[in-house]
Chain A
Amino acid sequence: MAYLIKGANVVDPQVGLNEVCDVLIEDKSIAQVGKDLDATGATVVDGAGKYLVPGLVDMHVHFRDPGFEYKETITTGSRAAVHGGFTDVATMPNTSPVTDSGAEIRYQIEQAQIANLCHVRPMGALTAEQKGESLAEIGDMVAEGACAFSDDGHGVQSAGMMRTCMEYVSQFDRVVCAHCEVESLTTNGVINEGRASTRLGMFGWPALGEELEIMRDIELARITGCDFHVCHISTARGLEYVRHAKAEGLPVTCEVTPHHLFLCEDDINDTYDTNLKMNPPLRTLADAAAMREGLLDGSIDCVVTDHAPHAAHEKDCEWEIAYFGCVGLETSLPLMLANMVLPGKMSWERMVEVMAVNPRRILRLKPVRIEAGSSADLTLIDPQMVVHVTPEYLESKSKNSSFLGLTLKGCASDVFVDGRQVLVGGKVVGA
């Protein structure tokens, strides 16, 4: 099968491209990039007024499969990913059973092949059953295709255990992704400690609980030499620690979610909307501004969603007993476009770096470049297409979006995965 994407503005900082040209896809690869390419034998996709970028990657999602298929499955999660413009996602291992051995990695890869939509890159657990007590079978999981390792959902509480994990992982070419949370500081915390916890009368989750563990793990990266990636960073001071570590040349990277970029604790009002309950919690207005600044200045490497589907009954309840997390795959790109790129605060090139280039590098995936020979994992973005964030819009099995009710301009119109068109004019192919 051949496709000719005609007349799109092609943006790829890896090859210095930001201009209108044609891209010819043949089979699984990009065959040609240039002006006025011959369309003979190819299906033409009109790219006029649109932007073609390397396929977007979300390196932090929860597909709940196996174990919590009532929230999401690898198939429904893949549909949400493609709908949101992503060609690749990295799935977190807090499944049931926990993804802590090669067989579970293989299961996810096989399920993704059945879904046959996007690339699913499973992450393995760092510790057995994510209990933070003993090493998971990391080498076995590397052999089966695990892209990185994380106990996401919890921090590894013991510094000694975390050191062991990082030392052990350092023998493989893989990164340790850490959910940074000192649980003795965040006990019972359900909302940012400060104005919001005082105003709404609930136990606070202090910024310190995150910052202290970021600091600890940076020091562990220093002595172990293991690549260390901070999951869903949310506080200005935590980001300062990452900045300093990078300036020292330590192997440290970090990611941020759209909700920590574009929402803050002040958005939680007296209605106690549980779709705004996440871990880490929404922080202060100043923290959100620091996140946006860090994303622009290079301190933050990538945007991830922490896509966390939960069933309606797990959210339609009192705040303190509601589950943490929100879905994000289908609003991430529209939010980045509407808040950052289209108003001119962020260049298209930078957006491509934080949503495609950098996460591939961190996950040790083969780079996708818009040049002949590269695999045809591509996202076509229509800056005019309007998204109404409603439950009906969401392909995800769960509807717990923090952005329900918003209307956003700009989203993915078409997605190609291995040269196959899986999103056509904003619609996901298949049942």
Chain B
Amino acid sequence: MLSVRHLIDTTSLTADDITQILDTARSFAEINARKGIKKVPALRGRTIVNLFLEPSTRTRSSFELAEKRLSADTLNMGGSTSSVVKGESLADTIQTIDAMNVDMFVVRARLAGTPQKITENTDAIVINAGDGKHQHPTQAMLDLYTIREHFGHLDGLKVAIVGDLAHSRVCGSLAPALKTMGAEVTLVGPPTFLVDDPTYYACPQTSDLDSVITDMDVVYMLRVQLERMEGAAIPSKREYNRLYGLDLRRERMMKENAIICHPGPMNRGMEINTEVADCARSRILDQVTAGVATRMAEMYLLLGGENDGISD
């Protein structure tokens, strides 16, 4: 059992919660790797609503696959067909769906705090699939899973999160979760991309990637949120790539066993160069694979699914 009823942010999760999610995900990863039937009846008869109020490809498909593999019934809502687009309030949208007796909402939203507001309008369980610039906890769990699979542990690892920290819900969830698990986090980015309150995460911030990259176990490159930029916080993609992009020169500076992560979708040639994105250190596709298993674990643990089919 997790200590939380909903998965809204990682700051509410204990180390035990995170360990439970990662351990459970491991069982599901084995199912996902099967050559045969990749499906268990764990959430049979449960109804999950995927409410995607903002465009999403990978997170949405990852959740949908995870739900199908758990045998849940799903309903996809959002995009241009959503009633929110038609001017209905969030509360009305949620109460309307809630009246159809659903068990879980998976919500992606442009506005921070939307998942929390949804919890106030339904008895169903809510998973935050990314809210504005705030949090993206299921991304953090798949990241932690990927990193732990490589190193066997999280405690004591040195992780640099590089890029557009100010607009990043990925950083908002990943940095606190890593710290909870005992990793050391360094935030790297141009001064215009650093977080408003550098003391909040209680980790060092720097604009000099070269000075820290040699010491890191994990270099986590953030996507530059071109759609979230206010004004011109950087002069050009080219200059960003030169100063903060992960290129072959920087890749060669990394420790022997160090790995590279990126939440996707990548801006190749901007925050990461092609030869690095596809190199042996890259765990970018492993992250995607881990996404399905960790999301299965989160839904399973939060919905308290029956124990059949997974503990054999």
Q: Which residues of A does B touch, CB under 8 Å?
A: 187-188, 193-195, 197-204, 270-272, 313, 316-321
Contacts and interface: CB of A to CB of B under 8 A. Distances in A.
Interface in B103-162: 109, 111-114, 116-117, 120, 131-135
14 contacts: A193-B196, A194-B197, A195-B199, A198-B196, A200-B134, A201-B112, A201-B135, A201-B169, A203-B230, A204-B196, A270-B9, A318-B113, A320-B111, A321-B111
Contact of A200 (B90, B113, B117): B113
Contacts of A320: 111-113, 132
Given A188-B230, A195-B196, 19 more contacts: A187-B231, A195-B200, A197-B197, A198-B201, A200-B134, A201-B169, A202-B132, A203-B133, A270-B9, A270-B116, A271-B120, A272-B113, A316-B89, A318-B109, A318-B113, A318-B114, A318-B117, A319-B112, A320-B111
A187 B232 CA distance: 13
A313 B89 contact: yes
Contacts of B197: 194-195, 197-199
Contacts of B134: 200-202
Nearest to B120: A271
B133 A201 contact: yes
A272 B8 contact: no
A421 to B, nearest CB: 42
A338 B134 CA distance: 36
Specify the main secondary structure of chain B where it touches its partner. Answer: loop
Contacts of B91: 316-317
A203 to B, nearest CB: 7
A316 B118 CA distance: 11
Contacts of A195: 196-197, 199-200
Contacts of B22: none
Given A201-B133, A202-B132, A318 B196 contact: no
Contacts of B169: 201
10 closest residue pairs by CB, A with B: A201-B134, A272-B113, A318-B111, A201-B133, A198-B197, A198-B200, A201-B112, A195-B197, A197-B196, A194-B197
Contacts of B195: 198
B132 to A, nearest CB: 6
Contacts of A272: 112-113, 116-117
A201 B116 CA distance: 13
A319 B196 contact: no
A321 B90 CA distance: 11
A203 B89 CA distance: 22
A130 B17 CA distance: 53
Nearest to A199: B200
B172 interface: yes
B131 A317 contact: no
A316 B114 CA distance: 11
A5 B217 CA distance: 78
B89 A270 contact: no
A141 to B, nearest CB: 37
A45 B89 CA distance: 50
A214 B132 CA distance: 32
Nearest to A188: B230
B112 A317 contact: no
A193 B131 CA distance: 19
Contacts of A313: 89
A319 B116 CA distance: 11
B112 A270 contact: no
A203 B8 CA distance: 19
B230 A202 contact: no
A151 B172 CA distance: 37
A201 B89 contact: no
A57 B109 CA distance: 43
A316 B169 CA distance: 24
Contact of B90 (A197, A203, A270, A317): A317
A195 B198 CA distance: 8
Contacts of B196: 193-195, 197-198, 204
Q: Among A195, A198, A321, which residue has the most Cβ atoms of chain B within 10 A?
A: A198
A272 B117 CA distance: 8
Contacts of A199: 197, 200
A199 B201 CA distance: 9
A271 B230 CA distance: 26
Q: Among B90, B112, B134, B200, which residue has the most Cβ atoms of chain A within 10 A?
A: B112
Contacts of A318: 90, 109, 111-114, 117
A385 to B, nearest CB: 33
A228 B114 CA distance: 41
A114 to B, nearest CB: 34
Contacts of B114: 318
A199 B198 CA distance: 11
Nearest to A316: B91
Nearest to B199: A195
Contacts of A201: 112, 131-135, 169, 172
A202 B196 CA distance: 10
Contacts of A317: 89-91, 117
Interface string B84-111: 0000011100000000000000000101
Interface string B210-253: 00000000000000000000110000000000000000000000
B180 to A, nearest CB: 16
Contacts of A187: 230-231
Contacts of A197: 196-197
